[in-house]
């Protein structure tokens, strides 16, 4: 099977870039192997519909993004199946989230949507442009890391840690490069 870790978000607005920063953080710090599966990492930025042909090439994806949830706190993590979204969770927090919801629905209609798991974090909303991540996101990222690694182990992947970068280190790299868009 072909697995995809897809990071969604806008790296220019702090925690809103969680999905992108998170998958880059995992990709840089871990090496994954499997005798039967392939694993790829893609920074989807805010591309949404433009990702349709890419997403359709995979059997299973974990989409990492910011979410909204009733009665939630900044930094809380939720990991769920797209087909069984808990009632208290919605994707109406920012433009890229609405577009990803529409993209997945569109793929459903066409019969091209792979199995989708969503690893979502409640962000601290930041209005001015910033590459600084909130302490809540940094703490939540560690919880999300454990959830993702456990999931990938259950799917048949093994991993080894190859570096010790922090998620803020990854966000700082975007700032240093003057990078303001998706690397897809």
The answer to whether position 184 is within a domain reads no
Copy the structure tokens of residue 132: 């600084």
User: Could you read off the pLDDT of 144-173 as tens digits, one per residue?
Assistant: 999 999 999 999 999 999 999 999 999 999
The answer to whether position 35 is within a domain reads yes
Asked if 67 contacts 121 with a C-beta cutoff of 8 angstroms, the reply is: yes
For residue 183, the model assigns a pLDDT of 46
pLDDT of 116 > 50? The answer is yes
- % of the chain residues with pLDDT over 90: 63
The answer to whether position 182 is within a domain reads no
β-pairing, 115-121 with 60-66? parallel
Looking at the structure of the chain, the number of domains it has is 1
Phi, psi of 63 (to 5 degrees): -95, 125
For residue 99, the model assigns a pLDDT of 80
pLDDT of 127 > 70? The answer is no
Confidence of residue 184 (pLDDT cuts 50, 70, 90): very low
Asked if 44 contacts 182 with a C-beta cutoff of 8 angstroms, the reply is: yes
The answer to whether position 15 is within a domain reads yes
For residue 94, the model assigns a pLDDT of 52
CA distances from 20 to 8, 52, 65, 177 (A): 5, 17, 8, 15
Residue 90's domain comprises: 2-177
For residue 179, the model assigns a pLDDT of 55
User: Could you read off the pLDDT of 35-91 as tens digits, one per residue?
Assistant: 999 999 999 988 888 899 999 999 999 999 999 889 899 999 999 999 998 888 876
The answer to whether position 183 is within a domain reads no
- The CATH number linked to 139 is 3.40.50.1450
pTM of the model: 0.90
The answer to whether position 86 is within a domain reads yes
């Amino acid at each position: 099977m072909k697995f995809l870790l897809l990071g969604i978000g806008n790296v220019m607005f702090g925690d809103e870039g969680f999905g992108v920063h998170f998958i880059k953080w995992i990709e840089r710090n871990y090496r994954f192997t499997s005798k039967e599966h392939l694993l790829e990492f893609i920074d989807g930025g805010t591309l949404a519909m433009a990702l349709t042909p890419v997403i359709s090439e995979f059997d299973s994806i974990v989409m990492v993004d910011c979410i909204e949830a009733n009665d939630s706190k900044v930094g809380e993590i939720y990991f769920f199946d797209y087909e069984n979204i808990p009632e208290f969770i919605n994707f109406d927090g920012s433009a890229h989230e609405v577009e990803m919801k529409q993209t997945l629905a569109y793929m459903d209609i066409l019969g091209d949507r792979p199995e989708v798991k969503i690893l979502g974090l409640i962000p601290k909303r930041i209005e001015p442009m910033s590459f600084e991540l909130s302490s809540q996101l940094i703490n939540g990222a560690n919880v999300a890391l454990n959830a993702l690694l456990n999931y990938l182990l259950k799917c048949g992947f093994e991993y080894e840690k190859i570096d010790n970068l922090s998620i803020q280190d990854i966000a700082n790299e975007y700032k240093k490069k003057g990078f303001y868009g998706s690397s897809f």
